Amino acid sequence: MTNQPGNALRTFFNSTVFSFEILSVATLIFLVFLWKLFAVILKKQDNKIFLSSGYTIATLLAFYLPWAFSSIASQTSVYPFLNPLSVFYLSVLKGLANSGQVLNSSNTLIGSLLWKGIPYILTGQLIGGFLGFSLFVGLFFLIKKINQTDLENNINHLKISMIVSFDDKLSLKWYTIKEIAFIMMLMLLLPLISMTNTAFYKTNDFQVKLIEGLVVGVIIFASSFVNFFCFHLFFSLINIIFKTISYLKLSKQLKQQSAYYKDLIKFFIVVILTIIIPMILAFFAILIKMASGVYISVS
C-alpha cells in the first residue's frame, strides 16, 4: 500500500506517485483549457452552466483516468492528490491521524506534519500543469490552422492569453473573502465525503469519487456567479505568468496605469490561502476526531 496518500507523504520520493501526479494534473489542465476554448468558439464563454459542467467533467476525468490506468500500470492502486489543497490537508490529517486512537492518549496530539513528500508531489503537479498546458497550446494552434479558412467560425483572432488569462475586478478585500469562502467550502466537504465508510454504506471508491465530483460541480457552479475561484493553484500561476509578460511589454507610462501589481498580490493571496486553509481545517478535523473517537487510517 506504498502508494496511499499517507505513505506517499512519508517518503522523499515515490516514482509511481510522482508519475501519476503529473498525469492527473496534466489531464485536468488540458481539459479545462480545452473546454474554455470550446466555450469561446461556440460563444458560450458567459454561459455558467456550460462552463461549470465542463470544468466538473474535467475534474472527474482527472481523477478517474489516472486511477483506472494505475490499476493496469501499477501493482497497487494510486490515489492522486491532484490539487495542492489536498497535499497540505492530508499532510496534517495523516501526520496526526494517530491522535486519539492510541491507548491512553485521547487528549494528546500524536505525530507531526508529513513534510517529506510535499516537495516531490508539488513538483509533479507543477510538471503536470505545464505538460497539460503545452498539449493545449499545440492543439490550440492546430485548431487555428485547420479552421483558418472557415469564415463562419473564424478563430484567427484568438490568442492563447484570451483562453488561459482572466481578469477579476473585485477589490483585494472581496477577492480574499471569495477565495476563503470557496476554498473552505471545498475543503470542508470533499474530505468528509472521501472518508465515507464504504463497507457500512455499501458503496465503492468509484461511487465516492462520483459524489465528490458532483459536490465539486455544485461548488464550481456557485462560484461562477463571482467569476469562479482558484480551484487549482496552477491556473493562477499561468494567469500571472501571462500578466507579467503583458506588463513587461507595456511602455513606462502604461505600466503606471496597469493593474498588474494588484493581480500579483491576488496571486500571492491565493498561494497563502492554498497552504494555510487546508492545514487549519485538517487540524480542527483532528481535534474533532479526538473528541468523537473516530478512527482514521494513517496510510
> For residue 176, which of 188, 184, 186, 187 has the smallest C-alpha distance?
184
Asked whether 113 and 11 are in contact (CB, 8 A), the reply is no
pTM for this prediction = 0.91
Sign of the torsion formed by the C-alpha atoms of 140, 142, 148 and 152: negative
Residue 201 confidence (pLDDT): 60
Asked whether 183 and 229 are in contact (CB, 8 A), the reply is yes
Residue 162 has pLDDT above 60, yes or no: yes
Identify whether 297 is part of a domain: no
pLDDT bin (cut points 50, 70, 90) of residue 187 is very high
The larger pLDDT score, comparing residue 170 to residue 68, is at 170
Residue 132 has pLDDT above 80, yes or no: yes
Residue 96 confidence (pLDDT): 86
Split into its structural domains, the chain has a count of: 1
Residue 1 confidence (pLDDT): 52
> For residue 108, which of 280, 295, 286 has the smallest C-alpha distance?
286
Residue 151 has pLDDT above 60, yes or no: no
On the CB side of 2, how many CA atoms lie within 13 Å of its CA? 10
Structural domain boundaries enclosing 46:
5-292
Average pLDDT over the chain reads 87
Q: What is the CATH number of the domain that holds 241?
A: 1.20.1080.10
Percent of the chain, pLDDT > 70? 87
pLDDT bin (cut points 50, 70, 90) of residue 109 is confident
> For residue 191, which of 296, 273, 96 has the smallest C-alpha distance?
296
pLDDT bin (cut points 50, 70, 90) of residue 152 is low
Q: How far apart are the first and last CA of the chain?
A: 8
Q: Please state, in angstroms and as integers, the Cα–Cα distance from residue 189 to each residue in 44, 110, 119, 212, 216, following that order.
A: 29, 25, 26, 8, 9
Residue 58 has pLDDT above 60, yes or no: yes
Residue 190 has pLDDT above 60, yes or no: yes
Identify whether 298 is part of a domain: no
Identify whether 127 is part of a domain: yes
Identify whether 33 is part of a domain: yes
Q: Say which range, 54-58, 144-148, 238-242, has the weakest mean pLDDT.
A: 144-148
Q: Please state, in angstroms and as integers, the Cα–Cα distance from residue 137 to each residue in 1, 29, 30, 132, following that order.
A: 37, 11, 9, 9
Q: d(Cα 107, Cα 235) in Å, to the nearest integer? A: 40
Identify whether 93 is part of a domain: yes
- Any idea what DSSP says for residue 75? S
